[in-house]
């Protein structure tokens, strides 16, 4: 049993290690990040209160607290582009107190090679782990 667990873990690590970018790729990824164009408009699809669209019709999802732990979620909202046609995503950060007052001031978050919404495991290997490895 122990051998089977270790084997599965090693195979999983081997499979997902292909998602780890080089140090240069990781350092340069911010150049791909984009911010919302104009202001975000809340979409009321299905009673959801976390889906927005910008002036360029880009869909932005406001991440839940638990998915924003790396960005001070008690003080900041993290918005992420969401497009099923690509595994990548961009992050935009907004101060909660300003955003809740209608002031949409965004700063760049990170460009993600793998969106945590679409592939959370690959996101850990391609975007989060390199932050710790290369820092």
Cα angle value 82/48/66 (rounded, 5°)? 65
Extents of the domains making up the chain: 2-133
SS3 of 66-135: the string is HHHHHHCCCCEEEEEECCCCCCCEEEEEEEHHHHHCCCCCEEEEEEECCCCCCCHHHHHHHHHHHHHHCC
Q: What is the pLDDT of residues 30-49, one digit of tens each?
A: 889 999 999 999 987 555 67
Q: What is the pLDDT of residues 75-119, one digit of tens each?
A: 999 999 977 888 999 999 999 999 999 999 999 998 998 898 888
**Which pLDDT score is estimated for 73?**
92
pLDDT, mean over the chain: 86
Compute the distance between CA of residue 77 and CA of residue 70 in angstroms, rounded to an integer.
11
**Which pLDDT score is estimated for 49?**
78
């Amino acid at each position: 049993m122990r051998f089977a667990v270790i084997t599965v873990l090693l195979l999983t690590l081997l499979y997902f290690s292909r998602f780890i970018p080089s140090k240069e790729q990781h350092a340069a990824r911010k150049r791909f990040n984009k911010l919302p164009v104009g202001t975000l408009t809340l979409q009321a699809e299905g009673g959801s209160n976390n889906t927005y669209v910008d002036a360029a019709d880009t869909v932005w999802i406001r991440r839940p607290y638990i998915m924003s732990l790396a960005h001070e979620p008690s003080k900041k909202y993290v918005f992420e582009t969401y497009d099923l046609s690509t595994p990548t995503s961009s992050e935009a950060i907004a101060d909660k107190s300003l955003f809740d007052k209608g002031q949409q001031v965004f700063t760049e978050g990170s460009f993600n090679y793998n969106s945590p919404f679409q592939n959370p495991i690959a996101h850990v290997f391609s975007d989060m782990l390199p932050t710790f490895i290369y820092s």
